[in-house]
Each structure stands twice: as structure tokens, then as C-alpha cells.
Structure 1
């Protein structure tokens, strides 16, 4: 366990508000790929989820995971942050959440998954050279891997970057984690090089009045 990274994500998780009780459509659970509420595609990006075995890499407080469970998926979440794991385990649906890095979970396990996904999670904050082969190896034939996060913040500034988490205590030193920023076409190439097929990568436009879109990448293990 990377203790410094876990501490940084604890800071982030403690500052995050929980989801609303219901979304704009009145639903008590829902799937959201973007940073904007009630915006963008839903769980259909992963294919059919009822009865599927699904893995959330960097599940946070479990909002997306809970929606998949409500739809009948056998879903497991992984997160490095004890704070986030505790929040997810408080959910009324009794979510299956493990406190590990994505790499540790994938490398140690033997179960295969129908789909794996990451929403502003491990896919953005783990070296793709390490993570992509691990995900590919744990998918069933035809299994889908999809992830979303912000597009690169600065044109021409790609690869490992630093993300800062500021503790709330006055005078506390900021904590840093690495994220991997790439444009859509580079992510598509990296997935293909790792063995994924039917790869797509696009930026979802933001809602009206917002400036930042969301990068959504999807690929599958060959059937």
C-alpha cells in the first residue's frame, strides 16, 4: 500500500460531499461518467450489466458501484483510501469494497470480470504501462474496459503530472499524487498496444455554461 498516496486520497475523500439522494430524473441510484451531475452517458457504455461481474477501479464512496448492484450486477470496488472505503461500506446495499491499489487487486486475484471501469479513478492515477495489461488479463473474452477523467489541462503537457491535495489543517503541507494525462488518440493507441480491440476515445462536451469536457475511453478484450 502506498501510504502517502492513501493519505492524499483520504484528504480528498473527506472533503467530497456525498451524492444527492435523488438525481434530476428522481432516481435513487445512477451512473455518471462525467464531473457534471446528470450529464453524459450511463452504464450502457459497459454493455449489459444485469448478472455481469463488474469491477470499479478507484470506486470512491461507491455511487456508481451502488447503481450497478441495484441493476443486478455482481460488482466489486477497489480504492486505496480508507476514508472512501468506509463511506462506500456504509451504503445500504452492502457494497463489496476492498482497500487496495488497483494494481495489487488485479495482480493478486484470479476472478475474471465481464467489465471493468474507472471514473476519475485508478485509470488516471496509475501508470498505464502497468495497469492496462493487468486489466486486460482479468477480463473475460469480449469484456469491456472503460474509463473517464479530465482531458489534459495544458496542451503539450502529457504523461505523468502532479495533482495536489491540500489538507484542511492550517499550515499543513500539500500532498501530491501522480496522474497520467494523454489526449484521446494517445489513450486509444495505448489500449490497442495492450491488446484491446474496438477502442474508442472521445471528449464529451460539457453542459452549457461549463468549460471542461470529459474524456471517455473504451476498449474490449478480443472475443
Structure 2
């Protein structure tokens, strides 16, 4: 298992959230997108079923969480960056049934006894957290039949497992983080071993065949 420096990663995401050039989107309207190609491309919130309670792992600016809460769902967004959480909480303060928590997802889920009807990660924490540690916790916090959905970039062929990268454009302190890259077949195995049922994994093609697609993972609670 890869050992993460959580505080260094928190600092890196704080800088990301605070940098104007990154345009984190807290000032935009709520929207829900699984793919990087816009809400008109690929599936929508129907993948979550009809949940009452929802947990967003890596909620960032909170646009997806706000979108769901505006439709009557009780949504909790978890993010590692206090800068991001503060901005999201302020932006969506008027949205009922929505709250944001600053926490590392493994720590948060390990301490929680709550179950959710849906747990999802849209280009969020599932991409940046060891799935062998995270997926069993997700399985243990889903209501029976509840939905798990995650989306992020697919693995580069031949480059699998934890993929480390430095922040700050290779300048300054040696802060780094990991993304976890696996084939769809490997994700199926990881989800099944974690106790999730009916796992599925596919790459949603981009609008143009030569462009980057989106890895989409789905499963249910036992």
C-alpha cells in the first residue's frame, strides 16, 4: 500500500483551489457531469438511482453536490482542502440539504457509522485514493442496493497502479500526489473483492474517437 503524506497533499490542493488560473468553478451554476466533455455527453444522474442520501467523495467546488441537493437529495460533500470546502460552503450556503466537510476520505469513512443511498466520485477522491483501502469502506457505508459511481480518466495503456506526479510545475517544494490507474477488468476485480455487487467498468468514448474517454465505474451495496 502506498503511504500518502496527507498534509502535503492538503497543502497542494489548497494552492490549486486558491489559484485563479485553475478556475475551480465555485462561481458557476450547479451542473452534474461524469465526463470531461460536458453534461450533454454520456450518462447523467440516473446512475445514482433514486437516493435520499448521497455522499460526494472529493466534492471540490461543489457544483455536482449542489445540483443533487437542489433536486431534494440530502448531500454531504467531502474534500481534503479547507480552502475548497470554505469556498463551496459559502457559494452554496442557500442550498438546503447540503453540507461540506473538510476531511480525508479514509479517515472520514473509518470514523463514520452512517450509510448512504449513493456514494459517488466525479473526478474526485476515488482517483486519488488507494482503492484497496477505499472501496471496502465504500461498500460498508452503502445502503443495501445503494449505488456507487465513479468517473475519471482511463489508465494510459501499460501504465497501471499508483501514478505519482509532482505539483507546482516541478518547481518549489517536492509536493506530490498519486492517481490510481487500472484497466476496467482490474477495477471489476477490485470492486468485487471489496464487497460491492454487480460491478461494471467501461470507458465512455469521447465525442471524437481520437480524444480521451472517461472511465466509468458502477456497483451496488450488498
The one of 121, 137, 143 equivalent to 2:146 is 143
Cα RMSD, aligned residues only: 2.1
Q: CA distance change for structure 1 residues 61 and 134 in 2, over 3 Å: closer, same or farther? A: same
> Which range is displaced more, 40-49 or 71-80?
40-49
Compute the TM-score of the two structures, normalised by the length of structure 2.
Answer: 0.88
Q: CA distance change for structure 1 residues 152 and 69 in 2, over 3 Å: closer, same or farther? A: same
Partner Cα distance (1:119, 1:174) in 2: 27
Matched length: 212
> Which range is displaced more, 129-138 or 5-14?
5-14
Partner Cα distance (2:26, 2:58) in 1: 20
| 1:109 and 2:112 are equivalent in the alignment | yes
Is the CA contact 2:31–2:64 (under 8 Å) kept in the aligned structure 1?
A: yes
Q: CA distance change for structure 1 residues 85 and 167 in 2, over 3 Å: closer, same or farther? A: farther
3-state SS of paired residue (1:11): helix
Partner Cα distance (2:151, 2:7) in 1: 25
Is the CA contact 2:17–2:24 (under 8 Å) kept in the aligned structure 1?
A: no
Is the CA contact 2:167–2:175 (under 8 Å) kept in the aligned structure 1?
A: yes
Is the CA contact 1:167–1:174 (under 8 Å) kept in the aligned structure 2?
A: no
Partner Cα distance (2:26, 2:76) in 1: 22
Q: CA distance change for structure 1 residues 162 and 76 in 2, over 3 Å: closer, same or farther? A: same
Compute the TM-score of the two structures, normalised by the length of structure 1.
Answer: 0.88
Q: Which runs of 5+ in 2 are unaligned?
A: none
Is the CA contact 1:60–1:85 (under 8 Å) kept in the aligned structure 2?
A: yes
**Structure 2 match to 1:14:** 18
3-state SS of paired residue (1:178): strand
Q: How does 1:28-43 map to 2 (within 5 A)?
A: 28-38=29-39, 39-43=41-45
1:12 Cα offset (Å): 2.3
Is the CA contact 1:164–1:176 (under 8 Å) kept in the aligned structure 2?
A: yes
Is the CA contact 2:26–2:62 (under 8 Å) kept in the aligned structure 1?
A: no
Is the CA contact 1:167–1:173 (under 8 Å) kept in the aligned structure 2?
A: no
Partner Cα distance (1:210, 1:219) in 2: 28
**Structure 1 match to 2:54:** 54
3-state SS of paired residue (2:201): strand
Q: Which runs of 5+ in 1 are unaligned?
A: 23-27
Q: Which runs of 4+ in 1 moved over 6 A?
A: none
